[in-house]
């Protein structure tokens, strides 16, 4: 029902659909810059990173306040909540703006980590909720396993006598690696 309303709004007004998509990308990029700045000391950033994060906070506040302005209060059985459904074309970016707000205000930002690019990871940000705070990969099923498989392939290749290169051996690491563009994208923890 709700998805149909959004679909119809986007079809009826393609410019509104593009505006919604631009808003989503804006929020994603802004949140990345803010969370990245939160780990700058640990991950080696520059003063420019802090300036970019400050600008991103301003932009995120504008997105969030726009979303709140479009929202309405709804009385559920036990509480009042904000519903972001008055402008269907903006429903998706408005909910994402709320989610970004929620992460920034409630998450423990000392737990933000970056999937290690230098070790073959994708550079995405995530929240480390492990008990001892030692999680390294965005998701073990993605980068963790890919890097492990690549190391195994490299070890096997190093152990193999020269001239015995076999086609089809090993894991097609590049085929499943997230694109490098992913480094500039949204925190996966959302």
Of the residues 143, 146, 147, 187, which one makes contact with Zn ion according to CB under 5 A: 143
Of the residues 98, 121, 147, 186, which one makes contact with Zn ion according to CB under 5 A: 121
Shortest Cβ 116–Zn ion spacing (Å): 8
Shortest Cβ 41–Zn ion spacing (Å): 21
Q: According to DSSP H, which parts of 39-166 are helical?
A: 40-43, 47-70, 91-106, 145-159
Q: DSSP for 1-54, please give it.
A: -HHHHHHHHHHH-HHHHHHHHHHHHHHHHHHHHHHHHHTHHHHT--HHHHHHHH
Interaction between residue 122 and Zn ion (CB under 5 A):
yes
Shortest Cβ 122–Zn ion spacing (Å): 3
Shortest Cβ 85–Zn ion spacing (Å): 34
Residue 121 CB contacts under 8 Å (≥ 6 apart), including other chains: 114, 115, 136, 137, 138, 143, 147
Q: Which stretch binds Zn ion (CB under 5 A): 4-12, 68-76, 98-106, 110-118?
A: 110-118
Q: Which residues bind Zn ion (CB under 5 A)?
A: 115, 121-122, 138, 143
């Amino acid at each position: 029902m709700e998805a149909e309303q959004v679909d119809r709004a986007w079809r009826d007004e393609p410019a509104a659909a593009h505006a919604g998509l631009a808003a989503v990308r804006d929020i994603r990029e802004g949140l990345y810059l803010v969370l990245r700045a939160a780990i700058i000391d640990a991950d080696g950033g520059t003063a420019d990173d802090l300036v970019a994060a400050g600008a991103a906070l301003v932009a995120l506040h504008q997105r969030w306040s726009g979303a709140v302005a479009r929202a309405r209060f709804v009385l559920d059985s036990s509480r009042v909540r904000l519903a972001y459904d008055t402008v269907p074309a903006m429903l998706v970016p408005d909910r994402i703006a709320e989610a970004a707000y929620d992460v920034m205000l409630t998450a423990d930002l000392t737990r933000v980590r970056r999937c290690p690019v230098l070790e073959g990871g994708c550079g995405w940000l995530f929240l480390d909720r492990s008990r001892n705070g030692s999680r390294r990969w965005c998701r073990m099923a993605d980068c963790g396993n890919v890097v492990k498989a690549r190391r195994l392939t490299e070890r096997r290749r190093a152990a193999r006598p020269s001239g015995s290169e076999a086609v089809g051996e090993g894991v097609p690491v590049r085929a499943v690696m997230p694109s490098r563009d992913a480094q500039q994208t949204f925190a996966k923890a959302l």
